[in-house]
Amino acid sequence: MKDTKKAADFIISIILIALSAFLYMTADKMPGATKGIGPGDYPKFICTILFILGVIQLISVVVSCKGIPLIAFKEINRKFLLRALIMVVATFAYYKLMKPIGYLLTTPFFLFGSFMLFGYKKKVKGAVIAIIFTVVVYLLFTKVFMIFLPRGILG
């Protein structure tokens, strides 16, 4: 089981590095700000941090295993893979729907769905947390950072 965890950490670090590099390039295409922080600056900052953390995790796993950890395919949990695939599809849908529908309407559903997908049992508490988190992040970005999140149909 220990080797399975290290192999999973290795795979996740590779995915994190690739995803953060892709998202950094995508954020780099966003328009720049004439004054202050532009819409792409915060995502690029987060992607840089994620890239560095992915590299640190990758190095840590390779050093602790004295090489690349391998995993037997029969040890892979199919239920976990299905959840991961659903999460990838849900994240892509969230990304595509955020602009036309808006941050305030898509994010609570995405967060609540994520909670339920990964086994959080308290539905009411999960819904409240998703809504509060969404509103706090929205206010933080729009009022403090002056970065306007997509308003969508709320226009």
Q: Tens digits of per-residue pLDDT, 100-131?
A: 999 999 999 999 999 999 888 999 999 999 99
Q: Is residue 11 located within the same domain as residue 71?
A: yes
pTM above 0.85?
no
Q: Is residue 101 located within the same domain as residue 60?
A: no
- Number of structural domains found in the chain: 2
Q: Is residue 13 located within the same domain as residue 87?
A: no
Choosing from 35, 56, 76, the residue where a domain stops is: 76
Structure confidence at residue 1 (pLDDT):
39
Q: Is residue 85 located within the same domain as residue 72?
A: no
Q: Is residue 103 located within the same domain as residue 49?
A: no
Q: What is the pLDDT of residues 20-51, one digit of tens each?
A: 999 989 888 877 777 767 777 778 888 899 99
Q: Is residue 56 located within the same domain as residue 32?
A: yes
Q: Is residue 88 located within the same domain as residue 136?
A: yes
Choosing from 29, 48, 76, the residue where a domain stops is: 76
Q: Is residue 17 located within the same domain as residue 43?
A: yes
Q: Is residue 102 located within the same domain as residue 146?
A: yes
Q: Is residue 21 located within the same domain as residue 34?
A: yes
Q: Does 75 score more than 60 pLDDT?
A: no
Full domain range(s) for residue 115 = 77-155
How far is the C-alpha of 54 from the C-alpha of 94, rounded, in Å?
A: 23
Choosing from 46, 76, 106, the residue where a domain stops is: 76
Q: Is residue 9 located within the same domain as residue 81?
A: no
Q: Is residue 56 located within the same domain as residue 84?
A: no
